[in-house]
Amino acid sequence: MNDKKLMNLAADNIRILAASMVEKAKSGHPGGAMGGADFINVLFSEFLVYDPENPTWEGRDRFYLDPGHMSPMLYSVLCLSGKFTLDELQQLRQWGSPTPGHPERDLERGIENTSGPLGQGHTFAAGAAVAEKFLQARLGKEMIQHKIYAYISDGGIEEEISQGTGRLAGVLGLNNLIMFYDSNDIQLSTECGMVMNEDTEAKYKAWGWNVIKINGNDPDQIREAIKKAQNEESRPTLIIGKTIMGKGALKDDGSSYERNVKTHGAPLGGDAFQNTIKNLSGDPTDPFKIFDDVKALYENRQIELKKIVAERHAAEAAWAKTNPEKAAQMKEWFSGKAPKVDWSTVIQKENSATRAASAACLGALAQQVPNMICSSADLSNSDKTDGFLKYTKSLVKDDFSGAFFQAGVSELTMACMCIGMYLHGGVIPACGTFFVFSDYMKPAVRMAALMQVPIKFIWTHDAFRVGEDGPTHEPVEQEAQIRLMEKMKNHAGKDSVRVFRPADADETTVCWKLAMENIETPTALIFSRQNITKLPAGTDYEQAAKGAYVVAGSDEKFDVILLADGSEVATLVSGTELLRKDGIKVRIVSVPSEGLFRNQSKEYQESILPKGSKIFGMTAGLPVTLEGLVGANGKVFGMESFGFSAPYQVLDQKLGYTAENVYNQVKELLAE
């Protein structure tokens, strides 16, 4: 056990570095980082187990930061651990710097997750805890025996997602999850008492958590709380640490600047900064220093870790020798490679709904991909993720041998926990709900895109054909929204989200194949509720891998191109029969993924949609969904309202999604 005086000095060193980073950047959040320095110091200098020489070691403990604005705290402790240099700390929030204003995932640097939108970070941690339990059930405790640590703030507690996380972690008994709640009662514009007056301890206890309340600035109390949490056998642990916002800060007149809202989101500034650094035993003229005793503290921890890790590696090697098949399996699971799937086993029923076709694909995946977890937001029998569940069972407390994660009615929580499963490593997650409820998930989709997490989003009931449910459940603008993400690139220059809306059951199989092969970015799979007529015989569905292709039966020389994705392709096929009676030659193009199509060569794009062609597009979404493909010479028929309540066949007639309207619309286009 380290001396309390030394631990206080190390925490003060973190406070100095954090405040100095923000001061130099002239932007940032010093107060929270200064208050949380004690916990982060105890965790990293005494408890967190990782391999100093192999940052991606599968057996490492994982730390997930929720309040990303407290990045100076994380960067500072990682600097003490040898992951960042003092020079890099001085580049906080600058162009090209490895220390952006909110931490971005970088395993080599010890950063497990991108954080910023409050509430998501600790939900990632809960998902990682599920993944660890899932893998332990398959590989054993010799290989999978680590802890998942999370750090949450008042803002994260306030965000609604914390309810879903607390509920699910409690009901699943995630005793491998240890969360520190930095309860400093201060937020950006008010004191917390203005907006919350709850008994957080009672709330988490009601969810089935082990709750420990401590002075969050006392290293001895922090240490004992972590020990108790590590020994907890059946519940996740919440350590409520009452901390001091801006601990050690002084105003320009030398009076206390602690517990002040102004320290939350702005540099201390001028004499206040000078006084604060002096108060913490630093040199305001040269604050970017590591105290000798603190340097020794972290160097000693590195020595301890190497001994701990050497023993663990020896045990892992012995296990691998005894369990060669499992060892090979584990290596494959953590490789990040796409799983091997025999798609020839998938037999699709003609003219079925694509959600049913998706169920057939999920059934094959459940049988062939043993490290895949599928989830649903209380809709498995409607979004047809029960195609996966049919071959496994639900994950439940004390039994993680199943592979289906029942999230209940909590789409955002589900999505973030599934993202956390991937962040942990070794697991391929997929999650489903109705497409209209993707609105609840957009913050998670964006974070998955930023972190390049190849999660599979399964969205069914893709259009107004939800019918009797009425416009509240009928997605109209949702496809345009998610396809905007197709048009954005991530930091690696890849499409931020890959989107597929297949035209029939057989195209669904190909789209699922492409989704599973996509290990670079999230995939959105959008499926129909209603049955869809199979595309003409001879259609080469494998061409869907190019994002857009010509459907069989199209005329070689054509007067007009009819273009759509999803079930509207079949509507175009039916309209073609009427057009041909008038001698009009037609090319039909299915575009399940505009993003993939845009990534093809200009020659291929031109071969499918030649310049100058008359193009008619039909979409059950907003016209803007297809306008980029149709161009100035064409027109798009799409929805102009939220829809109406009626059986979908009636809606098709009333709203114009018929062969007759395709005929009329195309005739008007050609007459212009």
Which residue numbers are catalytic?
A: 411
Alpha-carbon distance of 28 to 31, in angstroms, equals: 9
| Bridging pattern class, strands 456-460 and 560-564 | unpaired
Alpha-carbon distance of 331 to 260, in angstroms, equals: 50
| Bridging pattern class, strands 615-618 and 635-637 | parallel
Question: For the residues of 462-485, what is the DSSP string, one character each?
Answer: -SGGGGGG-TTS--SSHHHHHHHH
DSSP assigned state of 167? H
Q: Which amino acid is at 175?
A: N
Torsion of CA 564, 566, 572, 574, to 10 degrees: 170
What radius of gyration do the chain's Cα atoms show? 28
Alpha-carbon distance of 228 to 222, in angstroms, equals: 10
Using an 8 Å Cβ cutoff, are 31 and 249 in contact? yes
Beta-bridge mates of residue 1: none
3-state secondary structure of 215: strand
Alpha-carbon distance of 330 to 342, in angstroms, equals: 20
The DSSP element (H or E) to which 63 belongs, if any, is strand 62-65
Picking from 277, 197, 305, 320, the residue whose alpha carbon sits closest to that of residue 34 is: 277
What's CA 135's distance to the chain center, in Å?
20
**Which tokens in the block code for residue 512?**
């699922």
Alpha-carbon distance of 605 to 438, in angstroms, equals: 30
Beta-bridge mates of residue 22: none
Question: For the residues of 424-475, what is the DSSP string, one character each?
Answer: HSS-EEEEEEEGGGGGGGHHHHHHHHHHT---EEEEES-SGGGGGG-TTS--
Picking from 157, 75, 146, 154, the residue whose alpha carbon sits closest to that of residue 123 is: 157
Alpha-carbon distance of 517 to 514, in angstroms, equals: 5
Q: Please provide the size of the chain in residues.
A: 672
Return the number of other C-beta atoms located less than 10 Å from residue 96's C-beta.
6
Torsion of CA 560, 482, 403, 56, to 10 degrees: 120
**Which tokens in the block code for residue 258?**
């602690």
| Bridging pattern class, strands 428-434 and 498-500 | unpaired
Q: Which residues contact 517 (CB under 8 A, 6 or more apart)?
A: 338
Return the number of other C-beta atoms located less than 10 Å from residue 490's C-beta.
18
Distances in Å between the Cα of 131 and the Cα atoms of 177, 417, 555 are 11, 9, 51
**Which tokens in the block code for residue 623?**
């016209």
